[in-house]
Amino acid sequence: MEADGENTDDRVRMWAPVGQAVALLLGPYAEVVLHDPDTDRILAIWNSIGARGPGDPSLLGELDALDPSARDVFGPYEKVLADGRRLSSVSAVLRGPDRKAAAVLCVNLDRTPLEQAAAVLSAFGAPTTPRPEPLFEQDWTERVQHIVGTYVRECGRPLERLTRADRLAVLARLNEAKIFAVRRATPVVTAALRVSRSTLYGLLAELRAPSTKDNT
């Protein structure tokens, strides 16, 4: 931790454990800064990720209000460093018994490692080529999982929340894929849809029943 001056300010002594704890938890990617709102100078800084230090200008103009009636926490909001790194920042106004702003504590989190990790995970999660259908043509159980799973992803609802109309739509796709022409398909489909056999038979009967329009 760096503090301004040999005689540490009372505010620094009071809030140093907080600043150090946050810096230790989120380091080396988080900078914690304690500002003096009266002089607009930095009182102390933990894990500086720039060239700033104690005594440097705080430039607290980014906080739109420091009066007693204003809110005390700002953010998360975005900052961008000169080298292109993006930061997520939170600022907290620390008030005394008189509700006057005694100090401002800011936490600046470098989002670069998070963005890099997200890019890596996204690259791993995305298929690079279409599925080789000939490999799965004979594995009808795999086709059941694929058809049901694709529908779940498309509709954005988990299996447990599929409506009757949803299940009928899935069964229509399975029927089109000739899954029910395979022996022992029923237990595989009931397991995939998480329904009972009686429910499945009822849905299939409804799916295959001639519509009123067909009878006219």
All structural domains of the chain, each given as residue ranges with its CATH number in brackets, are 2-115 (3.30.450.20), 127-207 (no CATH)
The C-alpha angle with vertex 171 and arms to 169 and 175, in degrees rounded to 5, equals 120
pTM score above 0.85: no
Q: pLDDT category, 72, cuts 50, 70, 90?
A: confident
37/11 Cα distance (integer angstroms) = 12
How are strands ordered across the β-sheet holding 30-36? Answer: 2-3, 41-46, 30-36, 101-110, 86-95, 73-80
Q: Is 81 left (phi over 0), alpha (psi -120 to 50) or beta?
A: beta
Report the amino acid identity of residue 131: R
Mean pLDDT of 78-98: 85
Q: Which helix (H) or strand (E) holds 116?
A: helix 112-125
- Between residues 168 and 157, the one the model is more confident about: 168
pLDDT above 70 for 216: no
Torsion of CA 157, 159, 162, 165, to 10 degrees: 120
19/33 Cα distance (integer angstroms) = 7
Residue 184 to residues 90, 138, 180, 191, 202: CA-CA distances in angstroms? 58, 15, 8, 12, 17
pLDDT at 20: 94
Of 68-72, 148-152, 196-200, the least confident:
68-72
pLDDT at 212: 46
Average pLDDT, the chain: 83
- Between residues 172 and 60, the one the model is more confident about: 172
205/191 Cα distance (integer angstroms) = 19
Residue of 207, 29, 206 lying closest to 112 (CA atoms): 29
> Residue 106 corresponds to which tokens in the numbers above?
């800011």
194/104 Cα distance (integer angstroms) = 54
pLDDT at 119: 83
Name the burial class of residue 70, with classes exposed (0-12), middle (13-18) and buried (19+) by CB atoms within 10 angstroms of its CB.
middle
Mean pLDDT of 173-194: 90
At 19-51, the pLDDT tens digits run 999 999 998 899 999 999 888 899 999 999 877
